[in-house]
Every structure is written in C-alpha cells, then in structure tokens.
Amino acid sequence: NAGVTQTPKFQVLKTGQSMTLQCAQDMNHNSMYWYRQDPGMGLRLIYYSASEGTTDKGEVPNGYNVSRLNKREFSLRLESAAPSQTSVYFCASSKNRVLNYGYTFGSGTRLTVV
Amino acid sequence: DQQVKQNSPSLSVQEGRISILNCDYTNSMFDYFLWYKKYPAEGPTFLISISSIKDKNEDGRFTVFLNKSAKHLSLHIVPSQPGDSAVYFCAAMHNQGGKLIFGQGTELSVKP
C-alpha cells in the first residue's frame, strides 16, 4: 500500500540544468497535483491534472512543465533550473470526493539549485 | 494575493490544554475547508474537513469551526498532546472537483 511515491527525495542542480521529478500513485485516483512549499508561503499549487489527458496551471506555473503520462503517473519538469526554484516539492492525488478523504501527499523532493 | 491566511506562524501550548489554530479566507466562493498536519521530512496528512453547510465538525480530539460571515475557521485540539507538535495547514476549495488553496501554516509546539 505505497500511496504516492516521489523520486528522487533529494537533488542538487546547477543553475540552467534540467530535471524531471517523478510521481506515481497506486490508489486509482483521477486527480493529481504538484505543490511547492517555501518558508512563510505555505503550499502553492504549480500544476494539476483533473483526469488522465488533462493538465492545468495552478498559482505558480512559470518555469515548470508537466506530463500526465497515464492515470498513475504525473511528472514535473524544470527545463532550466533557477535558484528561485529551490524548494520542497510535493505531489498529491485525490478521489473526486475530496471532502471525505482529502488529498494524499507524497513525502516530497527537496531540491536545491545553486 | 493570499486567499487563505494563517496569521500566526507559531503557537506553543502546554500538554493537556486546548490548542486553537486560526485561519481566514477571502474568497466567498470557497465552500469546502480542510486541515492538514505535517511532520518534518514528511508529506502533509489529511486531518479533518468541513463543508460550508455546517458550522462545526468533530473527530475525536479535533474540532473544526466555520464562521462563514466572518470568513474564518478554527481548529481546536483538546486535550493537546506532545505528538500533536507539527505544522498545521488550513486549505480551501470551491466545489469538490476544484483545487485546494493552502494557507502559510502554523507550527504548533505542545510542551510536556
């Protein structure tokens, strides 16, 4: 019963490098999300996917792209990393009835851009 | 524009006492509200929720109160335990198919 799995857990990038954060869920959830957590800012939504084949921008999408590869997997790509993208990234998934179950979050990826 | 605000970055409470965490929102379209708890190096975990048709929801030691006219909600933890020490996030959404907007979080410390 893995829930939401994120890889990698830690990453250090140089400015300008690219990387993809991977996320997979095994709960047959339709919706998936990417958030970033920064001190004093809480969790801010980057992109989300309400269902397989659809993606939409959240509050802070600039500098990121996403791919909903299939129902299980939702990846986040940084094409040219910047120090401002240093953050902890969380992937989440949900059933349609969010009120009863909330979102299920992964354990996060801590990214440092130097 | 912060639509969900938690104005207290931290709160310290004695074990056994009540912890009250507050949250304000600005978007009158929000009709579902959730609280999450987060330990260091872990993802947030869902704690309790309330819809706008209610003003109170209780689950064990946790109670959430909603005041729609004031656009304010609060989470009460009674009695507080050291294991409750964590960061608590308030979140809101418009309809259950929408996306959650989170507040900044309040770090609760429960002292033995």
State the Cα–Cα distance between residues B14 and B30, nearest whole angstrom.
Answer: 33
Q: Are A96 and B99 in contact (CB under 8 A)?
A: no
Mean pLDDT of B41-70: 95
Indicate the residue of B4, B96, B103 with minimum beta-carbon distance to A96.
B96
A10 touches chain B (CB under 8 A): no
B96–A108 C-beta distance less than 8 A: no
Please give the pLDDT value at position B1.
73
Mean pLDDT of B92-102: 83
A98–B32 C-beta distance less than 8 A: yes
Please give the pLDDT value at position A83.
97
State the Cα–Cα distance between residues A10 and B75, nearest whole angstrom.
Answer: 33
**Gap between the terminal Cα atoms of chain A:** 36
Q: Which residue has the tokens 């919706």?
A: A31
- Is pLDDT of B106 > 80? yes
State the Cα–Cα distance between residues B42 and A92, nearest whole angstrom.
Answer: 13
B101–A105 C-beta distance less than 8 A: no
Q: Is beta strand B106-111 parallel, antiparallel or unpaired with respect to B10-14?
A: parallel
Query: Tens digits of per-residue pLDDT, B6-15?
Result: 999 999 999 9
- Is pLDDT of A96 > 80? no
State the Cα–Cα distance between residues B46 and B89, nearest whole angstrom.
Answer: 10
State the Cα–Cα distance between residues A71 and B8, nearest whole angstrom.
Answer: 38
Q: Are B88 and B106 in contact (CB under 8 A)?
A: yes
Give the tokens for residue A2: 């893995």
